[in-house]
């Protein structure tokens, strides 16, 4: 290896020497020195030998000694460099440096090993005493070297890698947090500048979109929310129409160019934002945030561009199993229906059609909330009726045409110039009217009527599809959906009841037929040929009866429908009602609409309902009993002849009717003969533990058939039911009060509470077990009687067969 030449640093040149003879000293200098000789006394105390050691230029110094001094300095510098090359500086962590009096730091150094020095210099150390090793020695040496290398690698991994990994992770976390903070501040800065002056800073929208493409979920969510706030504020109140190619080629002013650039940039950024929301809606991490942004935009700016994409994304999740997403989508659609002034009704028509397509594609297996949004729609009252003005105009036009034809046959045509002038005037007026409609904020009544009719047709098309799906028979192996067998039936019936006055009379017969089948669902004796898709509950069948009566009442002038079957269904559903399972409010509403209206009922039917409701009042809770007794009071007040049920003659009730015997098992109320019975239930109801029930039972029992006294009814069945339900929340029965008073004297209060809570359950279980045993015994007795009768028949047949054989043998003999 060739050694590099070291540069020799030469000392600086000495200044030129001036002889003492040439030095000129003035008299003033001498006088000054003489006057101030006292100040120069310190010069006598200076140690000149020690100074001459460090100072090279000394008076009367030998030049050879001076050269030696410089050579010594150079040697020291070279020695120090060699030492630095042959030594290693110690890490300050391992050994602290030394600080001199001058304030300089000197770091400790360690002499290098000969192997390391040789490796750095590139020269190999050769020892002539070494002998060449054998193959076995080489193998042992290589094994030892491998083992040592493995140990060193393990030690390095144990000592160095964890520290390095932890430091790297900490550095990455710190850098990521700093970057996230910077992005957050950037969002805030860009948003404030955009809101301050959107026209000049519209380009910042693209920068915000780029930042929101980050991989961190927090930054993405923050970007979506920031962009939502910005778009809600800067989107104009009109729909943007981009200029065509011809319009772009035209010369326009700077303001127009600026406005076109602003609108195009806003529209492109908004399109990218909507597409990103629709894409993120498919990911579970961003699903709720993206849906919230879409619903907020649809409710805030339904008039703006790309509202079709927003509506499609929202309606798609209107029946989601996630409660948060479903409620957000339903509230957004309801806001569209209630705030039609923002979009003029166009988005309402589109939303209703999309929901109808969704119901059709999912075969009516959606969440009930997806159809309940239709209840927030509002229509004009005269939408279902033809306009009189249009009819008058058509009639006048026909008359005018006839008159004009008769005149033209007698007179010659007028001048062609006048006709062309009139045509031009009419065209200009039409153009002006069209421009005025486009500019004015008021909606044209004809267009509004047209859009409402389209919306109504789509709504009723959906309702009829749900009814048809419920009525259709279903196979045995069919599986119900996630929301039940017929989840859309309740909102469908509610919607039909709300918009019953707008139904077209052409569909009325089919509608009543469907309602009749649904109300009779599960009652095989009424309609044995009907095989519906599934058994409806009592509440759903009651709702069908209520809707049928609402439709009939709203279209009373145009309908002539027999509602006898609905009365039969209500008569049978009263006994199938269960308080915990079925809705009592629906039962009270059915009693109010079907029995407590202004119609005059048949005497036999009224008596049957009076008897059935009195029996019902004995079996159920006070709220249901109160609703039933209020209905009984209404019926007795309207039908004076039915008050004979209150009399206890020798022959029972009034036997003047065609049927002289009461048959409660008959399904038809007109044929059960209820007038031949007596309201003995009132005597028990007068002793009811609830004061409201006992008081109304006592007032009903005082009614007389001979007197014309008018009893005032204070409330409808619905009002009585709701009031008593609220009252029962704080009402305690006398038996419960007595049990509580008896248990007050017991030793432990904890045992008292457990007995109070569990006493009712134990009694119910005991009663249930006893009744089950009793009915099982009765069933066994009936089965034994049937088997005995069959056995007797078989015995008789066997005896006949034996006698036949004997006779045959005798004949053969």
Same domain assignment for residues 685 and 782: no
Q: Which of 783, 800, 626, 633 is nearest to 720 (CA)?
A: 626
Quote the pLDDT of residue 748. Answer: 44
Q: Which of 591, 704, 607 is nearest to 647 (CA)?
A: 704
Name the β-bridge partners of 248. Answer: none
Domain finish residue from 679, 701, 731: 731
Quote the pLDDT of residue 1. Answer: 44
Question: How many C-beta neighbours within 10 Å does residue 225 have?
Answer: 17
- Please give the residue range of the domain that contains residue 711: 577-731
Cα distance between residue 362 and residue 130, in whole Å: 92
Quote the pLDDT of residue 41. Answer: 73
Same domain assignment for residues 606 and 689: yes
Quote the pLDDT of residue 477. Answer: 46
Q: Does residue 592 fall inside a structural domain?
A: yes
DSSP secondary-structure letter at 678?
Answer: -
Indicate whether this model's pTM tops 0.85: no
Q: Does residue 765 fall inside a structural domain?
A: yes
Same domain assignment for residues 586 and 710: yes
CA–CA distances in Å: residue 377 to residues 252, 337, 547, 587, 796: 45, 6, 18, 27, 74
Q: Does residue 560 fall inside a structural domain?
A: no
Question: How many C-beta neighbours within 10 Å does residue 563 have?
Answer: 16
Q: Does residue 698 fall inside a structural domain?
A: yes
Quote the pLDDT of residue 268. Answer: 93
**Below-50 pLDDT ranges, the chain:** 1-3, 116-130, 160-161, 388-393, 396-397, 400, 409, 412, 441, 477, 524-533, 650-652, 654-659, 709-712, 745, 747-762
Question: Which residues lie closer than 8 Å to 664 by C-beta, 6 or more apart?
Answer: 611, 612, 615, 672
Q: Does residue 54 fall inside a structural domain?
A: no
Same domain assignment for residues 709 and 736: no
DSSP sequence for 148-161: HHHHHHHHHHHHTH
Quote the pLDDT of residue 809. Answer: 83
Q: What angle do CA 460, 464, 468 make, to 5 degrees?
A: 170
Please, what's the largest Cα pairwise distance for the chain? Answer: 200
**What H or E segment, with its residue span, contains residue 98?**
strand 98-99
Quote the pLDDT of residue 125. Answer: 43
442-451: long-range contacts, CB 8 A cutoff, minimum separation 24: 443/344, 443/345, 448/345, 448/380, 449/380, 449/383, 451/345, 451/346, 451/348, 451/349
Query: What three-state secondary structure class fits 89?
Result: strand
Same domain assignment for residues 623 and 761: no
Cα distance between residue 569 and residue 541, in whole Å: 8
Query: What three-state secondary structure class fits 762?
Result: helix
Cα distance between residue 334 and residue 597, in whole Å: 34
Q: Does residue 260 fall inside a structural domain?
A: no
Across 100-134, b (16+ Cβ under 10 Å) vs e yields eeeeeeeeeeeeeeeeeeeeeeeeeeeeeeeeeee
Quote the pLDDT of residue 180. Answer: 80
Domain finish residue from 700, 731, 762: 731
Same domain assignment for residues 792 and 707: no
Helices 307-316 and 323-338, packing angle to 10 deg: 130
Quote the pLDDT of residue 280. Answer: 92
Question: How many C-beta neighbours within 10 Å does residue 371 have?
Answer: 28
Cα distance between residue 705 and residue 22, in whole Å: 164
The encoded tokens of residue 273 equal 């934002």
Quote the pLDDT of residue 129. Answer: 43
Domain count, the chain: 2
Q: Does residue 523 fall inside a structural domain?
A: no
Q: Does residue 661 fall inside a structural domain?
A: yes
Same domain assignment for residues 687 and 604: yes
Same domain assignment for residues 699 and 789: no
Cα distance between residue 660 and residue 653, in whole Å: 9
Strands 109-111 and 105-106: unpaired
Quote the pLDDT of residue 629. Answer: 92
Same domain assignment for residues 714 and 763: no
Question: Which residues lie closer than 8 Å to 705 by C-beta, 6 or more apart?
Answer: 640, 641, 643, 644, 646, 647
Same domain assignment for residues 695 and 620: yes
Same domain assignment for residues 655 and 761: no
Query: What three-state secondary structure class fits 91?
Result: coil
Quote the pLDDT of residue 755. Answer: 43
Total residues belonging to the chain? 813
What's the alpha-carbon Rg for the chain, to the nearest Å?
53
Same domain assignment for residues 695 and 746: no
Helices 135-159 and 161-196, packing angle to 10 deg: 40
DSSP sequence for 191-211: HHHHHH-TTTSTTHHHHHHHH
Q: Which of 521, 482, 531, 208 is nearest to 362 (CA)?
A: 482
Domain finish residue from 731, 749, 783: 731
Quote the pLDDT of residue 557. Answer: 52
Q: Which of 327, 357, 355, 194 is nearest to 269 (CA)?
A: 194
Question: Which residues lie closer than 8 Å to 107 by C-beta, 6 or more apart?
Answer: 89, 90, 92, 97, 98
């Amino acid at each position: 290896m060739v050694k590099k030449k070291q540069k020799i640093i030469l000392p600086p040149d000495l200044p030129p020497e001036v002889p003492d003879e040439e030095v000129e000293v003035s008299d003033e200098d001498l006088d000054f020195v003489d006057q101030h000789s006292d100040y120069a006394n310190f010069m006598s105390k200076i140690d000149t030998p020690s100074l001459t050691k460090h100072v090279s230029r000394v008076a009367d110094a030998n030049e050879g000694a001076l050269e030696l001094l410089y050579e010594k300095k150079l040697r020291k510098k070279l020695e120090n460099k060699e030492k630095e090359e042959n030594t290693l500086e110690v890490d300050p962590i391992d050994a602290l440096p030394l600080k001199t009096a001058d304030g300089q730091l000197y770091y400790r150094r360690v002499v290098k090993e000969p192997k390391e020095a040789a490796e750095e210099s590139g020269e190999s150390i050769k020892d002539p005493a070494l002998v060449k090793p054998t193959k076995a020695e080489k193998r042992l040496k290589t094994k030892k070297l491998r083992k040592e290398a493995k140990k060193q690698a393990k030690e390095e991994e144990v000592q160095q890698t964890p520290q390095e990994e932890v430091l790297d992770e900490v550095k990455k976390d710190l850098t990521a947090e700093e970057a996230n903070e910077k992005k957050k501040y950037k969002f805030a800065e860009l948003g404030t500048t955009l809101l301050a002056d959107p026209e000049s800073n519209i380009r910042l929208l693209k920068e915000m979109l780029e930042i929101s493409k980050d991989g961190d979920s927090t930054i993405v969510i923050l970007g979506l929310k920031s962009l939502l706030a910005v778009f809600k504020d800067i989107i104009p109140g009109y729909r943007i129409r981009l200029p065509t190619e011809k319009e772009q080629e035209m010369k326009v002013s700077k303001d127009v160019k600026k406005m076109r650039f602003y609108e195009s940039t806003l529209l492109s950024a908004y399109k990218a934002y909507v597409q990103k929301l629709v894409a993120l809606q498919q990911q579970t991490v961003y699903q709720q945030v993206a849906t919230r942004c879409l619903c907020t935009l649809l409710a805030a700016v339904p008039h703006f561009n790309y509202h079709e994409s927003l509506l499609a994304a929202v309606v798609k999740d209107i029946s989601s199993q996630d409660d948060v997403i479903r409620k957000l989508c339903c509230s957004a659609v309801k806001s569209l229906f209630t705030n039609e002034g923002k979009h003029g009704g166009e988005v309402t028509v589109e939303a209703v059609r999309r929901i109808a397509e969704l119901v059709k594609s999912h075969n009516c297996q959606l969440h009930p909330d997806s159809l309940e949004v239709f209840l927030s729609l509002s229509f004009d009252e005269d939408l279902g009726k033809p306009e009189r003005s249009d009819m008058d105009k058509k009639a006048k036009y026909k008359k005018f045409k006839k008159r004009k034809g008769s005149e033209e046959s007698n007179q010659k045509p007028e001048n062609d110039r006048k006709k062309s002038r009139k045509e031009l005037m009419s065209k200009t007026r039409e153009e002006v009217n069209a421009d005025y409609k486009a500019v004015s904020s008021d909606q044209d009544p004809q267009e509004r009527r047209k859009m409402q009719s389209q919306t109504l047709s789509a709504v009723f098309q959906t309702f009829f599809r749900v009814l048809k799906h419920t009525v259709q028979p279903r196979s045995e192996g069919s599986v119900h959906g996630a929301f039940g067998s017929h989840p859309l039936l309740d909102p469908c019936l509610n919607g039909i009841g709300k918009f019953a006055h707008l139904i077209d009379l052409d569909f009325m017969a089919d509608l009543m037929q469907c309602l009749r089948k649904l109300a009779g669902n599960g009652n095989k004796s009424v309609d044995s040929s009907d095989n519906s898709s599934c058994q409806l509950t009592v509440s759903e069948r009651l709702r069908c009866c209520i809707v049928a009566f609402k439709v009939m009442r709203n279209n009373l002038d145009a309908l002539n429908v027999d509602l006898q079957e609905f009365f039969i269904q209500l008569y049978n559903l009263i006994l199938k009602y269960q308080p915990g399972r079925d809705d009592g409010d629906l039962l009270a509403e059915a009693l109010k609409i079907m029995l407590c209206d202004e119609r005059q009922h048949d005497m036999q039917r009224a008596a049957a309902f009076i008897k059935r409701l009195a029996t019902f009042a004995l079996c159920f809770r006070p709220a249901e009993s109160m609703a039933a007794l209020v209905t009984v009071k209404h019926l007795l007040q309207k039908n004076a002849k039915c008050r004979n049920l209150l009399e206890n003659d020798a022959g029972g009730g009034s036997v003047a009717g065609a049927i002289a015997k009461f048959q409660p098992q008959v399904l038809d109320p007109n044929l059960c003969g209820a007038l031949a019975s007596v309201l003995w239930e009132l005597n028990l109801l007068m002793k009811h533990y609830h004061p409201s029930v006992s008081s109304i039972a006592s007032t009903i029992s005082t009614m007389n058939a001979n007197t014309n006294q008018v009893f005032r009814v204070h409330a409808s069945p619905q009002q009585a039911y709701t009031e008593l339900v609220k009252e029962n929340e704080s009402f305690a029965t006398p038996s419960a009060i007595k049990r509580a008073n008896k248990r007050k004297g017991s030793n432990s209060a904890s045992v008292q509470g457990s007995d109070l809570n569990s006493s009712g359950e134990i009694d119910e279980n005991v009663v249930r077990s006893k009744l089950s045993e009793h009915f099982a015994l009765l069933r066994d007795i009936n089965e034994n009687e049937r088997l005995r009768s069959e056995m007797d028949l078989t015995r008789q047949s066997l005896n006949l067969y034996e006698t036949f054989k004997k006779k045959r043998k005798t004949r053969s003999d």
